[in-house]
Amino acid sequence: MTQAQYNIIEMKKVGDSLVPVFSAMPDDLKGSWMHVTKLNHPTIKYVGALYFNNMHPESTVIVSDYLPTEYPDVYCTVNKNGRNERVYINPKYRKTGLLGVSGLVARAIFNDYLNVIMDVPLDRSIKTEKATELVKSIWKEEVEYIPVEKKSSISVFDINPPRDPVYPDIWHGHRAGGKND
């Protein structure tokens, strides 16, 4: 994929990192809006949530201290170092490339609104490797790996994560879709 396919018009340098600048919302995210919640939590600092509905106009970005009660179509938790810790995507949107493009947009939003350079998780599943490779290639960064002994069993054995997140618990039991696939 090329930057033009995602409506990226330039890559601005922020410290040692590159942040995409968009001319418009990428086509894959048309009809969506994003909500970023700042948390007072020991390990998770933010929850980024992407919704495909008409609750807010397309391309709206909301940054607040509250979590919407509606379960998002895509979400990630971000730790105090700016790394994703958990990523979820609604089964309806899996295998569509949405994870990678939403990561590109999330880095721009987190930088522009929160002065945070968001990055991919170090401990990630095989299923997220393609998205990781996509965003890292556009960011012109090397993909970082951690030794197997430091990975979680979910990553090492490619186990499906728990159906519901431990946090945010407001969404517990409200996930869209059936089985955890």
Residue-wise pLDDT tens digits, 69-102: 888 889 888 999 998 888 888 888 888 888 889 9
Residue-wise pLDDT tens digits, 115-170: 999 988 877 777 777 778 888 888 888 888 777 777 766 666 666 655 555 455 55
**pLDDT classification of 181: cutoffs 50, 70, 90:** very low
For residue 168, say if its preceding peptide bond is cis, omega within 30 degrees of 0. Answer: yes
- Tell me if residue 52 falls in helix, strand or coil: coil
pTM of the model: 0.81
Round to whole Å and give the CA distance between 82 and 151. 18
Residue 29 has pLDDT above 80, yes or no: yes
Residues 6+ apart with CB under 8 A from 12: 18, 19, 21
Round to whole Å and give the CA distance between 8 and 11. 8
* Average pLDDT, rounded, for the chain: 82
Strand 8-14, strand 17-22: pairing: antiparallel
